[in-house]
């Protein structure tokens, strides 16, 4: 719009918009059903009341019931089973491959040197990273690689000239990848920074200030529960702030020359001073040299630290949250695409593997 709207004009636009939005809101239950739910909750306090709980309370109630059931099963197994193994099928979370871009994505222009482009690497603890998506002749931005929730695919954003796309790769167990699809992203500008829905059926990215949600066949979709919210696209840059573990139980925060790990329930707080750690001194890192916290491992046992090691290269290491705070190299001396353009939280994704016991 070319001229500034008056307040009255703005209010009219807002009222009109809200009126239209209101028309689109359709209740899932009838008034009679809601009355029945209220009656049920008022009259009953037994297990059946789970059915009448609001949606947000159901998972907790179901979890409590399952925990009770599990406890009964365990007690029964111990009592009747003797040395027999427990008839339970357990799944544990393990840490898989790590993908990262050498270019930060989804942030403000001044923090990102688009001219230099960016590569995407894959590696893991004990396996040196290799480039899987190249910037070409320094002209292609490849940003925000992110594993699907089931770990079977990687999505990332690409910008080459005026063309933008979200690209999908299939990943095999040995870390090899193969392109499987490319969704054209309308518009021009910075590469889209895709994020997966919780169920892995849709991806979302920001187009200007609007969130675009697409199903994996490339058609647009109305936002649904579990889709990434706008707030999740506001990447913090190098100063990640407080980052919560995938389990939701521990937070991590970088401080000057150290890190703090704290239980969400307040049961512990561990303060790590980097100048106390032998691997810091052994590798010649200055204690204050870590510039970013790039996320958590899927099993919530360690975090990823980013180190500026030359002014133009970064090194990424794990840091265990339990004493003695062990560390492994994930990537060493990776060139960044500009001296003010450092990847951090949001530019690294760690594959979650579910392993049957």
Between CA 269 and CA 275, with CA 272 as vertex, the angle to 5 degrees is 165
Question: If binding is defined by CB under 8 A, does position 11 make contact with other proteins?
Answer: yes
Shortest spacing between CB 334 and other proteins, in angstroms = 29
What does DSSP assign to residue 220?
B
Tell me how many degrees the CA angle 148-262-247 measures, rounded to the nearest 5.
25
Instruction: Give residues 129-148 in contact with other proteins (rule: CB under 8 A).
Output: 148
| C-alpha triplet 212, 229, 26: angle, nearest 5° | 80
Identity of the residue, 38 or 70, whose beta carbon is nearer to other proteins in the bound complex = 38
**Among 244, 280, 237, CA closest to 260:** 244
* HSE (side-chain half, CA atoms, 13 Å) at 40: 15
> Which lies closer to other proteins via its Cβ, residue 44 or residue 273?
44
Q: 286 CB contacts (<8 Å, ≥6 apart)?
A: none
Among 4, 85, 110, 357, binds other proteins (CB under 8 A): 4
What is residue 92's three-state secondary structure? strand
Query: Least distance from C-beta 261 to other proteins, angstroms?
Result: 18
Can you tell me the distance from the alpha carbon of 349 to that of 347, in angstroms, rounded to the nearest whole number? 7
Which class for 40: exposed (0-12), middle (13-18), buried (19 or more C-beta within 10 A)?
middle
Q: Find, among 166, 169, 147, 157, the residue nearest to 112 by Cα.
A: 157
Nearer to other proteins, 32 or 110 (CB): 32
Query: According to the binding rule CB under 8 A, does residue 251 interact with other proteins?
Result: no
Annotate 2-29 with DSSP letters as a single string: -SPPPHHHHHHHHHHHHHHHHHH---SS
Pairing of the two strands 153-160 and 140-147? antiparallel
**Contact set for other proteins, span 29-48 (CB under 8 A):** 29, 31-44
- Given a contact cutoff of 8 angstroms between Cβ atoms, the answer to whether 265 and 318 are in contact is no
Residues 191 and 163: beta-carbon distance below 8 Å: no
Site membership for other proteins, residue 264 (CB under 8 A) = no
If the CB atoms of residues 38 and 127 are measured against other proteins, the closer one turns out to be: 38
Which residues, 231 to 250, sit near other proteins by CB under 8 A?
246-248
Q: Which of 207, 255, 269, 310 binds other proteins (CB under 8 A)?
A: 207
Query: Contacts with other proteins in 85-104 (CB under 8 A)?
Result: none
Q: Interface with other proteins includes 338 (CB under 8 A)?
A: no
**Which residue, 121 or 196, has its beta carbon nearer to other proteins?**
196
Cβ of residue 351: shortest distance to other proteins, in angstroms? 14
Give the residue with the Cβ less far from other proteins, 220 or 339: 220
- With beta carbons less than 8 A apart as the criterion, state whether 99 and 124 touch: no
Choice between 32 and 84, CB closer to other proteins: 32
Closest CB to other proteins among residues 102, 141? 141
x-marked contacts with other proteins along 161-190 as a string, rule CB under 8 A = ----x--x-----------xxxxxxxx-x-
Site for other proteins in 211-230 (CB under 8 A): 211-212, 214, 216-220, 225-226, 230
- Distance separating alpha carbons of residues 344 and 120, to the nearest angstrom: 13
**Among the listed residues 94, 200, 260, 291, the single contact to other proteins using CB under 8 A:** 200
Q: Which of 77, 116, 125, 149 binds other proteins (CB under 8 A)?
A: 149
Is the Cβ of residue 28 or residue 282 nearer to other proteins in the bound state?
Answer: 28
CB of 79 to other proteins, least distance (A): 29
Our finding on whether 326 is near other proteins (CB under 8 A) is no
> Quick one: DSSP state of residue 31?
H
Q: Give yes or no for residue 297 binding other proteins (CB under 8 A).
A: no
């Amino acid at each position: 719009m070319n001229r500034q709207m008056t307040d009255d004009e703005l209010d009219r636009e807002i009222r009109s918009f809200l009126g239209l939005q209101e028309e689109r809101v359709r209740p899932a239950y009838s008034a009679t059903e809601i009355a029945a739910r209220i009656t049920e909750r008022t009259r009953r306090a037994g297990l059946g009341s789970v059915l009448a709980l609001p949606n947000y309370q159901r998972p907790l109630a179901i979890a409590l019931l399952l925990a009770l059931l599990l406890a009964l099963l365990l007690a029964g197994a111990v009592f009747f089973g003797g040395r027999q193994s427990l008839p339970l099928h357990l799944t544990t979370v393990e840490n898989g491959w790590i993908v990262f871009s050498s270019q930060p994505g989804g942030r403000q222009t001044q923090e990102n040197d688009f001219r230099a482009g960016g590569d995407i690497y894959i590696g893991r603890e004990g396996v040196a990273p290799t480039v899987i998506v190249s910037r070409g002749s320094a002209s292609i931005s490849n940003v925000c690689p992110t594993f699907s929730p089931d770990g079977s695919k990687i999505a990332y954003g690409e910008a080459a000239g005026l063309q933008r796309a979200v690209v999908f790769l299939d990943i095999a167990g040995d870390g090899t990848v193969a392109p499987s699809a490319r969704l054209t992203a309308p518009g021009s500008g910075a590469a889209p920074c895709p994020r997966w829905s919780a169920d892995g059926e849709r991806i979302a990215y920001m187009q200007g200030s609007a969130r675009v949600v697409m199903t994996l066949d490339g058609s647009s979709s109305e936002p649904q529960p579990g889709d990434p919210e706008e707030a999740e696209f506001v990447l913090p840059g190098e100063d990640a702030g407080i980052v919560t573990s995938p389990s939701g139980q521990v937070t991590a925060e970088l401080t000057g020359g150290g890190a703090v790990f704290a239980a969400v329930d307040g049961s512990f707080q561990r303060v790590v001073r980097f100048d106390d750690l032998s691997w810091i001194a052994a590798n010649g890192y200055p204690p204050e040299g870590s510039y970013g916290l790039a996320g958590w491992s899927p099993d919530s046992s360690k975090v990823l630290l980013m180190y500026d090691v030359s002014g133009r290269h970064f090194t990424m290491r794990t840091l265990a949250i339990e004493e003695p705070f062990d560390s492994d190299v994930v990537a060493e001396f990776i060139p960044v695409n500009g001296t003010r353009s450092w990847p951090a939280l949001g530019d690294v994704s760690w594959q979650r593997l579910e392993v049957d016991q």
